[in-house]
Structures are given as C-alpha cells and as structure tokens.
Amino acid sequence: MAARESQIVLGLDPDPGALWPDAEPTPRRGSPAERAARAVLGHCRTLIDAAGEACVAVKLQLACFERLGAAGRAALEDVAAHAKARDLLVIADGKRGDIPVSASAYAQALIGGATTPFGRVEGLGADLVTVNPLLGREAIDPFLTAARASGAGVLVLVRSSNPGAADVEDLLLEGGDALWERVAAIVDELGRAGVGAQGISDVGAVMGATAPAHLERARELMPRTPFLLPGVGAQGGRVEELAAAFAPGRAGGLVSASRSIAAAHETLGGGPAAAARAEAERLREAAWALSEQVGAAS
C-alpha cells in the first residue's frame, strides 16, 4: 500500500456478455465455455494492465469464473497469475462457509494446496480469501490455519453491501446487539493472535461500503481489523464515507470497486482502458487523501 499509495482493490466479476470490445481477439474454435473463458481472461488481463497500477489488489468473484466450468477455473488461475505478475495481491472472493472438513478442502483449493498420493496439487495461491461465518468459529479456523501457514489472510463477512443484508445480518440479539456485531466480536477475537508490526491483524472483515453508518461501530468492535469495503461505485458506496476504516492506519481499509472501474467509459467516455485507469486513479487519490486526514486527526 505504501509503495503504491493505494488502498484500491480492482474487483473482477467478468460477465461474458459485457467484456471490453478491445480485449484480445477470441479464438473461433473450442466449446462455448472455452471461448468465453478465453475472452474473460483477455478482458481481465487488459483491465489489470489498464487500472492495476492504481490498485494494491484484485478481487476475483469466483462465481463469475465458476459459471464457465473447468475452462473458467483455468481462466481464474491465469488471471490470478497475471495479477501476481503485476505485483497485485489476489483476493479470492468466494464467501465459503462449511463444516471444518469441507472448509479445509476449500482452503486447499484457494490458499495452500493439497498433498495427494498423486503429487502436490497447488491451490489458487490467494493472498486473502473471503469466508462466511454462519457455521461458527470452527468453520473459519481451517482457512485461518492455511492462511497463517502461507502468509495469507482471511476476510470474514461481517456486514455485506446488499440492501437485503438486513434480513439476517441486522437481526437484533438478546442484549441489543445486531447479529453482525456479534460476528464482529468473533472476528476481533480470532485476529488477536495475528496482529502484525503495523498494528493490523491478519483476520479482516468484509464491511459493505454501502452501509457507512455501520462503519464507526464496526471500528469500535474491531479496532485492529482490516476492512474490505466492497460496493463503492455501482452499488452506491462512496469513498468519502469510509473514514472509520482508516482509524488504525492506512492499511485499515481496502476499497473495492468493480463495475464502476470496468464500465467507467460508459460515464466518462473515451476508451475503456483510459477510462478505467482514470477512475481507479480518482478512487486511489480520494482514499489515500482520506486516510491521510484520518491519520493526521488521530
């Protein structure tokens, strides 16, 4: 973050029907899935090359790759490798949550890899993975164990960016806390053993940028937790409202934008690459300046 003066995460959730027109030419041969996956890979590489310099990470929405089957999984790995080659962290956004034996298998898929009688099968090599906490601490633990063995981190879904999140996440518990606040307490507790030299823990929280009213409370409950803040742009979140994220320091918030960068040309005009670069740079400047103000005030 310091080297790039950026907290911006480039969200990659490619829709085969809305790829950049100037992406690499798509091969005419192959199955629909193979051709779509190649086109998605070309789109993501071009987008990373256009906007990546203003960012610190990419966030791969696993659903968008999974709908292209085996070819989609291969494209996912190639996109992750391309991002790493551009010195970007890779966030695998799958929000997995299952009983411990299955959570361990997901952690193998996304972080470390699996040792089998047929040889070592490497995982995606993600630097951060998003995890769903509904099944409790023991469903998070396998990800945390794998992450700590690989120098990676875990981002637990605490309050999502969709309007309907209120249905369950905002339910009030006995005693008056919202459910998401109780999850926040679990995240804080799990992260205490992983606070690094910067004073930031290795267990993060997904806190939708569309609910800034929750951010200050979240920061009280999770003082050293890095926040992944999705929902900036197309979903309505604004960088200017995210100050509480940066209270523990500049690394306290990762600001994720997807469609607002990839589709910036629709509002800014010009070519997709130039518009994406401009929008990512605008977000970078806004977030960096905000984090500077928060640092100066504290």
Residues 19-78 that bind its own copies (CB under 8 A): 26, 31-33, 35-36, 39, 61, 63-64, 66-74, 77
- The residues facing 188 across adjacent strands are none
Interaction residues for its own copies, span 100-119 (CB under 8 A)? 100-103, 105-106, 108-109, 113-119
91 CB contacts (<8 Å, ≥6 apart)? 9, 57, 58, 59, 60, 126, 127, 128, 129, 130, 155, 228, 254, 256
**Is residue 195 part of the contact set for its own copies (CB under 8 A)?**
no
The structure tokens listed for 76 are 């996912």
DSSP codes joined into one string, 237-298: B-GGG-GGGGTT-GGGEEEEESHHHHTHHHHH-S-HHHHHHHHHHHHHHHHHHHHHHHHHH-
Q: What residues are annotated to the active site? A: 95
Nearest to 76 by CA among 95, 97, 61: 61
Number of residues that bind its own copies (CB under 8 A): 75
- The residues facing 113 across adjacent strands are 122
Min dist. Cβ of residue 157 to its own copies (A): 7
- Choosing from 42, 123, 204, 253, the residue that interacts with its own copies (CB under 8 A) is 123
Max CA distance (Å), the chain: 61
Nearer to its own copies, 174 or 213 (CB): 174
- Choosing from 81, 186, 195, 274, the residue that interacts with its own copies (CB under 8 A) is 186
**Is residue 139 part of the contact set for its own copies (CB under 8 A)?**
yes
**Is residue 182 part of the contact set for its own copies (CB under 8 A)?**
yes
Specify the 3-state DSSP secondary structure of 165.
Answer: helix
- Choosing from 22, 85, 87, 137, the residue that interacts with its own copies (CB under 8 A) is 137
Nearer to its own copies, 178 or 195 (CB): 178
Min dist. Cβ of residue 226 to its own copies (A): 20
Cβ atoms 21, 275 nearer than 8 A: no
- Choosing from 7, 161, 201, 291, the residue that interacts with its own copies (CB under 8 A) is 161
Exposure of 23 in the CB half-sphere (CA atoms within 13 A): 23
**Is residue 189 part of the contact set for its own copies (CB under 8 A)?**
no
Nearer to its own copies, 97 or 248 (CB): 97
**Is residue 225 part of the contact set for its own copies (CB under 8 A)?**
no
Beta strands 113-116 and 119-122 are: antiparallel
Nearer to its own copies, 136 or 199 (CB): 136
**Is residue 217 part of the contact set for its own copies (CB under 8 A)?**
no
Exposure of 90 in the CB half-sphere (CA atoms within 13 A): 24
**Is residue 149 part of the contact set for its own copies (CB under 8 A)?**
no
Site string for its own copies, 234-253 (x = CB under 8 A): -x------------------
